[in-house]
């Protein structure tokens, strides 16, 4: 079940983006974008391909540098962080990749252990085992612990990718096209999992998607990226009751056969 939406009146923001601009050559991608992610909410960022959704994510985690504007994450100005502090910040952010990003040569157990072995070297083997079992149970795939990624379905690999992200107990989750390439039933399962993660792990999440069913099912709030700016923000119903001529075709593409 989707957690109730957060608002600026009752909770702080964990991400603040102000007047964000970035261009590649002569092509302007973000043209003064403003966005807030509030603690505990699922925020869906909607937009057509090539509008800058993934660019936004990369700027948030410091993989890309904006031309101008402010990006504040968990009270840190990303632009001003030295590399050591940027790495520490990234450990507080979970990134669920579109392709799951699992290591094909490792078992599921080894894939899940890897972030802990690399970043939490003080943990004992027993603690690592407990953490692996916890996240596998959370995504409903305890039985896959000794399997290889190649033995899993696309939906299962997506779930394991989310589990590997959760194992470091991030405060913020960033989902990049979580339902892309999945069948409708698996999409339904992934949407439920995103809501479960929000409730169980108390995460604040940005979900990048062009899938309106996903947006409607998981988003407490939706921000529509149009022409480099977030021109419309609100609930799903508020966004798609707009008379903006750029929004209706987006809705029609998803829902009208």
Q: Is 29 exposed, middle or buried (0-12, 13-18, 19+ CB in 10 A)?
A: buried
Q: Is the pLDDT of residue 8 over 60?
A: no
Q: What is the mean pLDDT of residues 154-182?
A: 93
Q: Is the pLDDT of residue 255 over 90?
A: no
CATH says 13-92+170-255 is which class? alpha beta
Model-wide pTM > 0.85:
yes
Q: What is the mean pLDDT of residues 44-64?
A: 90
Phi and psi at 180, nearest 5°, equal -65, 130
Provide the pLDDT confidence category of residue 245 given band limits of 50, 70 and 90: confident
Higher pLDDT, 50 or 143: 143
Provide the pLDDT confidence category of residue 253 given band limits of 50, 70 and 90: low
> In this predicted structure, what is the pLDDT of residue 257?
44
Q: What is the mean pLDDT of residues 202-217?
A: 93
Residue spans per domain, the chain: 13-92+170-255
Neighbouring-strand partners of residue 196: none
Nearest to 75 by CA among 14, 131, 126: 14
Burial profile 77-114: b = 16 or more Cβ within 10 angstroms, e = fewer: ebeebeeeebeebbeebbbbbbebebeeeebbbbbbbe
Q: What mean pLDDT is reported for the chain?
A: 91
> In this predicted structure, what is the pLDDT of residue 249?
74
> In this predicted structure, what is the pLDDT of residue 5?
61
Q: Is the pLDDT of residue 232 over 70?
A: yes
Q: Give the single-character DSSP code of 90.
A: H
Q: What is the pLDDT of residues 103-135, one digit of tens each?
A: 999 999 999 999 999 998 899 999 999 999 999
């Amino acid at each position: 079940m989707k957690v109730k939406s957060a608002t600026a009146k009752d909770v702080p923001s964990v991400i603040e983006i102000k007047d964000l601009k970035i261009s590649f050559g002569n092509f302007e991608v973000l043209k003064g974008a403003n966005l807030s992610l509030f603690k505990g909410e699922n925020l869906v960022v909607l937009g057509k391909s090539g509008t800058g959704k993934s660019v936004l994510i990369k700027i948030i985690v410091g993989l890309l540098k904006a031309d101008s504007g402010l990006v504040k994450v968990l009270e840190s100005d990303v632009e001003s962080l030295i590399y050591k502090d940027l790495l520490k910040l990234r450990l507080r952010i979970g990134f669920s990749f579109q392709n799951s990003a699992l290591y094909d040569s490792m078992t599921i157990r080894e894939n899940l252990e890897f972030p802990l072995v690399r970043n939490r070297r003080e943990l004992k083997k027993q603690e690592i085992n407990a953490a692996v079992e916890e996240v596998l149970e959370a995504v409903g795939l305890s039985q896959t612990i000794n399997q290889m990624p190649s033995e899993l379905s696309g939906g299962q690999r997506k779930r394991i990718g989310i589990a590997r992200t959760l194992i470091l107990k991030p405060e913020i989750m960033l989902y990049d096209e979580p339902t892309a390439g999945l069948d409708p039933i698996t999409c339904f399962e992934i949407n439920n999992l995103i809501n479960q993660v929000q409730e169980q792990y108390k995460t604040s999440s940005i979900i990048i998607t062009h899938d309106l069913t996903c947006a409607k099912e998981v988003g407490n709030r939706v921000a529509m990226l149009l022409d480099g700016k977030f021109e419309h923000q609100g609930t799903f119903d508020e966004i798609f009751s707009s008379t903006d001529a750029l929004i209706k075709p987006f809705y029609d593409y998803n829902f009208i056969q």
